[in-house]
Chain A
C-alpha cells in the first residue's frame, strides 16, 4: 500500500518532542497525502440537499466557499451554543490539564500535537473565544483567541477529519469533556459550507436513496442473502430461506450493510441467519431499512435523524413487535443515545420480550431495540442452544471492544460471555486497552477510506500493538468484535502490524459452534475452511 515497513512507520514518532513553533504559528496546514480524505462530490451533497454543493478538492487553493462563509460559521457556532449544553460547557471549562493528551490513538500514532484532544478542541475554542468571550475579544492571542480565516478553516477541516469520535479522551477527562461531541459539532459547522469528504457523503447519499450505504438495491440484497444461504446449505446441509420485507413478522432485524457485502462481515450475516433459523424466529430483513449504520452521524445530527428515521418507519409499516440489531458500532451509539429522542415515543411497538426464553429486555423497554449480543447471551444462559466448541479450536480469540458500544453503551460482558461459551481459547488484551479503555480501530466515523491508509495504520497502532502482545504471548489469531467498521478496518490493520491475526464478528463464532437441528456432519467453518481435525478429509 505504498507505506513504509511497520517497524519504520512510527520509529520517528516522539510523543515527548513538540514542534519549535507554537501551534497558532504553524499555519497554513500542510495537507499530507495519506492523512486526509478526498473532498465530497457535489452530486452527493446535492442529493441530500446539503448547502454549497459542488465538487470540492482539498488541495485546491480555492475551496469555492460562499461569500459570507465566515458569517455562516459564526452564526452556526452561536446556534449550537444555544442548542447543546455540552458544546457550551466544553468550550469554557477545559483547564488544559493534559490528561487527555496521550489517550488519542491519532496522537500516539502520529506524534502530531494537534491530534491531542485538548489541542484539537482548542483549534475550535480559539475561534469561539475570539467571537464569543470577553477575554478573547480583549486579549486576542494572549487570551487564546484567533480570527477565523481561511487557513484556520482549513486547519479545522484537516484535524476534525482526523478524529474518529471514539471518546477515549472523554473517559479520562476530569470534566467529561467529550471530543467526539466537539468533533460532531465542528463537522456540522464545516457541513454548513459543503465541506465534507467523499467517503462520508457518498454513503450518505446512497443510504438516503437505497436504504443502505453501499447502495445495494432491493433485488441485489435478496440475491446476496440467497447466495449466503447457498453457502450455508453447503456447509450444514440446511436450506434457509431468509424472510424479506415480511409483514407481520414479530421482529425486524437490522444490521449494517457492511455485513452483507465484504469478508469477514458476510460470515456474520450468515451467522445471524443460521441462528434465527435454528431458533425458528419469526423475523424479517428489510430492504428499505437495510442499514443500521449511519454515516449521517458524521455530517450532522439532522442528517443522522433523516437516515435513521427509516428504521422506525419500516417497523411501523411491517407491523413488527420490536427491533433486533446486529453487530455495529455507531449504529448502536445512535440507537442507544439519540434515536429514541429523535423518533420517540415509540408507542407502536411492544416492549421487547425474547420469544424463545421469555426474557423481558428491561433496558430496552422504551426504545424497543435489542442488541444481538444481549439477545444471544440470554439464549445461551437459558441453555437454548447447543454448541460444539471444538469447532472453534483452531481459533485463539481475543475481543476488541468497539468504541461506540463501549463508551456509548457499556456493553462489555455480553459478547465476552458469548465468546467464552462458543470458543475454548479466549485471551484478553492488557487491561489498559480493553473495555472502556479500548483503543479505536483507527477508521471509525467515516475515516475508513483507502486514501488515508497511512493515517489509519498510525491511528490503529495502539490497537494493533495490544493485539500483537497477545498474539506473541498466547498465539492469538482471531480478533473478534461487534462492529462492522471494525470488520472493515481491522483486517488491513492486522495485515500490516500483526500478520496472522484475522478478524471476525461474534455471531460468526456462535454459528460455527452451534449444533443445528438436522445438520449434516460439518467439515467446514463458515469461511469454507476445514474444521480442526477435518483437515485430512
Chain B
C-alpha cells in the first residue's frame, strides 16, 4: 500500500523545487535556507531521538544467542555470535554493522507438495550491503565539494571508485551499483508478495527519494551540463558559513539539493533512524554473561510473593502426614 502516494509526493517535491527555482527564482531559499534548516533538523532530531532511546533503561540482559555459550572449558564457545565478554559483544556489533551479519544468515522457506523447504537466501544481504556501501562512498566522494582542498583520502576513494574508466567523464562504480541495488530493493517491495503486503508509504517514500537524488546526480554528472565551478562556490560557501548563490546553476542541481535536504529533514522522524537504533539493540549489543555477572534493573521494585511460611501453614498437616519435614510442628 502507498506506493502511488509515495511516488506522487516525491514527484511533487521535484516539481516544487523546479517551480521554486526556475519559475519563481527563489534560489536563495533552495540553496541556502532549506539546506541549513534540513541540517539543523537532522542533527537535533537525530540526537533527540538517540537521547530518548538512551533514556529508556535496559532492565534485563537479553542477547539473542546465536552460537554455543561459554560454559565448560573444553567446549569451544562462539565468541562472536554468543559473546561472553564486552569485547566479544563489541566485535559482534562490528560485524553486524559493517557486514550485516544477521542478514547474511537469511533463509527462504517454501512449501511444496506438503513439504517445507528451507534454503539459503543471500539476495537481500547483497542488495542491502551494495546499497549502503555505495551510499557511503558517494557521500564521502561528495566531501570534495565542501572543502577547498580535496584531502588525499577522498581522492583515493574517488579514484578507486572510478577504477573502471569508461569514456569521459569517468564512470563511478558506485553510481551503477547503487542504481541496481535501489531497483532491487524497490522491486522486492513490489514483486515479493510478503514484502508488498507489509509495506507502508513510509517504506516507498525514502526509496523514491533516494532514487530521485541518485538520478539527478547521475544526470548532472554524465548527461546534463552543469557549471561545476559555480556549484562548488555554493557548496563551499555553505560549508564555511558564508553562503552565496552564484548565477548559472541549473534547476537540476536545485532539485538534487532539495531532495537531499528533504532526506536529511525526514531522517530523524522515520525508519531511517535504524542507522542510530541498530547500535542500541539490546539483543545484539550485550554480552551473554547473565549468570556470570550481576546486572541491575534501575526500576526494580519488590513484589508480593508467596513465602514458605504461608505455604506451610496451608499444607502443614498434609506434609506432616506424609513425613515431609516442616518448620513448625
User: Which A residues lie at the B interface, using CB under 8 A?
Assistant: 6-7, 10-11, 13-19, 22-23, 49, 81-90, 92-99, 101-103, 108, 113, 116, 118-119, 122, 133-135, 139, 142-144, 167, 170-178, 181, 208-211, 217-219, 222-223, 244-247, 287-288, 302, 305-307, 309-310, 313-314, 317, 335-338, 340-342, 344-345, 359, 361-367, 369, 374, 377-378, 381, 406-414, 417, 430, 432-433, 435-437, 461-462, 465-466
Q: Are B292 and A362 in contact (CB under 8 A)?
A: yes
In this assembly, does B248 line the interface, its C-beta being within 8 Å of a C-beta of chain A? Answer: no
Give Cα A93 to B60, complex, Å: 20
Give Cα A339 to B183, complex, Å: 47
Q: Are B56 and A84 in contact (CB under 8 A)?
A: yes
Select B291's contact among A211, A366, A436, beta carbons within 8 Å. A366
**6 examples of A-B residue contacts, CB within 8 angstroms:** A85-B57, A90-B281, A95-B271, A363-B70, A406-B65, A408-B65
Name the A residues within 8 Å of B62 (CB-CB).
Answer: 86, 178, 181, 337, 408
Name the B residues within 8 Å of A430 (CB-CB).
Answer: 118
Chain B's closest residue to A244 (CB) is B324
Name the A residues within 8 Å of B114 (CB-CB).
Answer: 6-7, 10-11
Binds A, one of B103-111, B138-146, B220-228, B256-264: B103-111
Across chains A and B, which 9 residue pairs bring their CB atoms closest together, nearest first?
A: A410-B65, A410-B69, A93-B277, A219-B322, A367-B291, A176-B283, A176-B284, A98-B195, A102-B109
Q: Are A85 and B58 in contact (CB under 8 A)?
A: yes
Select B294's contact among A222, A317, A340, beta carbons within 8 Å. A340
Give Cα A118 to B199, complex, Å: 10
Give Cα A342 to B194, complex, Å: 40
Chain B's closest residue to A7 (CB) is B114
Name the A residues within 8 Å of B5 (CB-CB).
Answer: 142
Name the B residues within 8 Å of A342 (CB-CB).
Answer: 297, 300
Give Cα A420 to B273, complex, Å: 47
Q: Are A13 and B111 in contact (CB under 8 A)?
A: yes
Q: Are A223 and B322 in contact (CB under 8 A)?
A: yes
Select A176's contact among B1, B64, B106, B109, beta carbons within 8 Å. B64
Q: Are B291 and A171 in contact (CB under 8 A)?
A: no
Give Cα A218 to B305, complex, Å: 19
Give Cα A336 to B69, complex, Å: 11
Q: Are B65 and A414 in contact (CB under 8 A)?
A: no
Name the B residues within 8 Å of A15 (CB-CB).
Answer: 109-111, 194
Name the A residues within 8 Å of B151 (CB-CB).
Answer: none
Q: Are A101 and B194 in contact (CB under 8 A)?
A: yes
In this assembly, does B168 line the interface, its C-beta being within 8 Å of a C-beta of chain A? Answer: no
Within 85-136 of B, Cβ neighbours of A (below 8 Å) are at 96, 100, 102-103, 105-111, 114-116, 118-120, 124, 128
User: Which B residues lie at the A interface, using CB under 8 A?
Assistant: 1-2, 5, 49, 52-62, 64-78, 81-82, 84, 96, 100, 102-103, 105-111, 114-116, 118-120, 124, 128, 188, 192-203, 269-271, 273-274, 277-278, 280-284, 288-297, 299-300, 303-308, 311-312, 314-315, 318-319, 321-325
- Once A97-B124, A172-B103 are accepted as A-B contacts, the answer to whether A23 and B197 lie under 8 Å apart by CB is yes
Q: Are B109 and A340 in contact (CB under 8 A)?
A: no
9 further A-B pairs in the complex, CB-CB below 8 A; given A244-B325, A341-B294, A410-B288 = A96-B271, A101-B194, A108-B116, A119-B197, A178-B283, A181-B62, A219-B322, A462-B116, A466-B116
Give Cα A367 to B292, complex, Å: 7
- Once A10-B111, A178-B62, A414-B75 are accepted as A-B contacts, the answer to whether A365 and B124 lie under 8 Å apart by CB is no
Give Cα A19 to B194, complex, Å: 10
- Once A93-B278, A178-B64, A336-B291 are accepted as A-B contacts, the answer to whether A113 and B72 lie under 8 Å apart by CB is no
Chain A's closest residue to B108 (CB) is A102
Give Cα A150 to B281, complex, Å: 32
Q: Are B56 and A313 in contact (CB under 8 A)?
A: no
Q: Are A18 and B193 in contact (CB under 8 A)?
A: yes
Chain B's closest residue to A23 (CB) is B197
Chain A's closest residue to B101 (CB) is A174
A203 CB to nearest B CB, Å = 15
Select B277's contact among A82, A175, A310, A341, beta carbons within 8 Å. A175
Name the A residues within 8 Å of B106 (CB-CB).
Answer: 99, 172
Q: Are A219 and B318 in contact (CB under 8 A)?
A: yes
Give Cα A447 to B67, complex, Å: 27
Select A381's contact among B72, B197, B282, beta carbons within 8 Å. B72
Name the B residues within 8 Å of A13 (CB-CB).
Answer: 111
A381 CB to nearest B CB, Å = 6
- Once A135-B269, A337-B290 are accepted as A-B contacts, the answer to whether A108 and B111 lie under 8 Å apart by CB is yes
B133 CB to nearest A CB, Å = 15
Q: Are A22 and B282 in contact (CB under 8 A)?
A: no
Q: Are A337 and B315 in contact (CB under 8 A)?
A: no
B292 CB to nearest A CB, Å = 5
User: Which interface residue of A122, A223, A365, A409 has the most chain B CB atoms within 10 A?
Assistant: A409
B193 CB to nearest A CB, Å = 5
Name the A residues within 8 Å of B96 (CB-CB).
Answer: 174, 176
Q: Are A374 and B72 in contact (CB under 8 A)?
A: yes
Q: Are A341 and B61 in contact (CB under 8 A)?
A: yes
Select B295's contact among A116, A217, A309, A341, beta carbons within 8 Å. A341
- Once A99-B103, A407-B66, A410-B288 are accepted as A-B contacts, the answer to whether A306 and B304 lie under 8 Å apart by CB is yes
Q: Are A287 and B324 in contact (CB under 8 A)?
A: yes
Name the B residues within 8 Å of A142 (CB-CB).
Answer: 2, 5, 200-201
Give Cα A217 to B316, complex, Å: 11
Q: Are A219 and B319 in contact (CB under 8 A)?
A: yes
Name the A residues within 8 Å of B269 (CB-CB).
Answer: 133-135
- Once A98-B195, A408-B62, A436-B81 are accepted as A-B contacts, the answer to whether A222 and B324 lie under 8 Å apart by CB is yes
Q: Are B61 and A337 in contact (CB under 8 A)?
A: yes
Q: Are A310 and B305 in contact (CB under 8 A)?
A: yes
User: Which interface residue of B100, B128, B305 has the most chain A CB atoms within 10 A?
Assistant: B305
Q: Are A167 and B198 in contact (CB under 8 A)?
A: no
- Once A83-B59, A413-B75 are accepted as A-B contacts, the answer to whether A313 and B308 lie under 8 Å apart by CB is yes
Q: Are A85 and B282 in contact (CB under 8 A)?
A: yes
Q: Are A83 and B56 in contact (CB under 8 A)?
A: yes
- Once A287-B319, A366-B291 are accepted as A-B contacts, the answer to whether A93 and B271 lie under 8 Å apart by CB is yes
Select A18's contact among B53, B116, B194, B280, beta carbons within 8 Å. B194
B301 CB to nearest A CB, Å = 9
Select A170's contact among B2, B64, B115, beta carbons within 8 Å. B64
A413 CB to nearest B CB, Å = 5
B135 CB to nearest A CB, Å = 14
Q: Are A144 and B200 in contact (CB under 8 A)?
A: yes
Give Cα A244 to B325, complex, Å: 8
Q: Are B308 and A217 in contact (CB under 8 A)?
A: no
Chain B's closest residue to A178 (CB) is B283
- Once A338-B60, A364-B292, A410-B68 are accepted as A-B contacts, the answer to whether A85 and B280 lie under 8 Å apart by CB is yes
Q: Are A367 and B290 in contact (CB under 8 A)?
A: yes
Name the A residues within 8 Å of B290 (CB-CB).
Answer: 336-337, 340, 367
Select B299's contact among A83, A101, A411, beta carbons within 8 Å. A83
A153 CB to nearest B CB, Å = 21
